[in-house]
Chain A
Amino acid sequence: MNSFKLEIYATDGCFYNGDCEHLVFGSPDGSRGVMAGHEPMICALAKGEIRYLTDGEWNRVAVTEGFVEVMPTYVRLFADTAVRAEEVDDYRAKSASARAAERERQRLSTKQYINTNLSLKRAMGHKRH
């Protein structure tokens, strides 16, 4: 089967860069398949699962919104996040804990800021006398 070059970029770096025989992804108006020599196209990418075929084997990847740039010799896929289908649960748990940590940090940060400012003022007061 003819192959083409596939590059998958996520915000934390390049997720995949190599040959691919067949790519299937979701767009806002349905699922689309791309094989080598496809007509040039830029297509919106919907959140969901994409599949790409390498050496007769399908790889499944969960992606969030982005877009796909299809050129006859190469395809580039851009998504906010790209995670292997098997690792989705892990990824979810990590993002949830990151969100919780941010809320806690915000609460603490305000408190700390006020506290340090007050103790600085107290210390300056002591110094003068």
Chain B
Amino acid sequence: MANMNEIKDRISGIRDIMKITNAMYLISSSKLKKARANWEAMQPYFDNIQATVHHVLEHTEEFSHPYFDNGKDKPDAQKKYGYIVVSGDKGMCGSYNHNIVKFAQAEIAKHDNAAIFAVGTAGRIYFERIGANVDVEFLYTVQDPTFEKAKMIADIITEHYLKGRLDEVYIIYTRIERGGEVPKIVKMFPLERHRFEEGDPAKERYMTTRFEPSPHAVMDTVGPIVARGLIYGVLTASYCAEHNARMSAMDASTTSAREMITQLSLEYNRARQAAITQEISEIVGGAKSLSQKKA
């Protein structure tokens, strides 16, 4: 039978941890809500951009543009691949970091010539440790996904791509789907013509739209915007997934802490009862032997 004081210590220890896990659960849920609200505020902007790119592509003859065609003619073995891997900055979120890192590693192993741009500390430290080709100057956290940050990241990658330092760029991130957080991969560059969907058919558009100064110049400005939007989207999606994972992890910890406390309280009461019983039988035994002596 365990010592009563030991059990008491454990119960108070577990209770303290439970307070923390519960607080972390609440923090994650409020962060998730805030990120979702920001994300929704941006939707009209990006939906319209998608529609406009679609419009530009549909109403102009096929023209070549670096954003679509850079590095296309290179043989596969010479292509330089870039991977942006979005992981968490911290642990305590179940298998979130483990899943994304394993998924990324499998994807990256497909090509010899791969450079990793890690967003998030957990992923960066992992890839540095296994000796992967990580860009060490590319330092961004995943906390607080703002558009400014997305813009800085997207502009760096866009420059690498336009200067030919990267021929294909993929983003590896996590998205919430039914049944949990799922690692995903999406192509960032080169842009693919068929990917842009026509949104909002209610708005009348004219076939004879002119592109000023030229379709090429319009793509010049729209290309980076699309890239920024994509990065912002994956940062927000990953952020939401991370906090969702943390919420379920913390919820599970709080529940099991509660179960442990119930179990330990039971043990504590048993130990206490046993101690009392023992004490009483000792007293009774002592009294009996005394009275027998007298008689």
Q: Is the interface of B mostly helix, strand, loop or mixed?
A: helix
Q: Which of A65, A67, A72, A98 contacts B52 (CB 8 A)?
A: A67
Residues 84-115 of A at the B interface (beta carbon under 8 Å): 95, 98-99, 102-103, 105-106, 109-110, 112-114
**Distance in Å: Cβ of A27 to nearest Cβ of chain B:** 6
Establish whether residues B48 and A28, one from each chain, have CB atoms under 8 Å apart when the complex forms. no
B41: chain A residues within 8 A (beta carbon): 12-13
Establish whether residues A27 and B213, one from each chain, have CB atoms under 8 Å apart when the complex forms. yes
Q: How many A-B residue pairs have CB under 8 A?
A: 118
A41: chain B residues within 8 A (beta carbon): 209-212
Q: Which of B139, B204, B212, B232 contacts A42 (CB 8 A)?
A: B212
Establish whether residues B125 and A110, one from each chain, have CB atoms under 8 Å apart when the complex forms. yes
A13: chain B residues within 8 A (beta carbon): 41-42, 44-45
Say yes or no for B22: interface residue by CB 8 A criterion: no
Closest B residue to A107 using CB positions: B139
User: Told that A113-B89, A116-B90 touch, could you supply 9 new A-B pairs with CB distance under 8 A?
Assistant: A10-B45, A11-B42, A13-B42, A41-B210, A66-B225, A69-B52, A99-B148, A110-B121, A110-B124
Binding site for A on B (CB under 8 A): 38, 41-42, 44-45, 48-49, 52, 55-56, 89-91, 121-122, 124-125, 139-141, 143-144, 146-149, 151-152, 203-206, 208-213, 217-218, 220-222, 224-225, 228-229, 232
Please name 14 pairs of A and B residues whose Cβ atoms are closer than 8 Å in the assembled complex, sorted by A: A11-B228, A27-B212, A28-B221, A42-B52, A43-B213, A66-B225, A67-B221, A67-B225, A69-B48, A76-B48, A95-B148, A102-B140, A105-B141, A116-B90
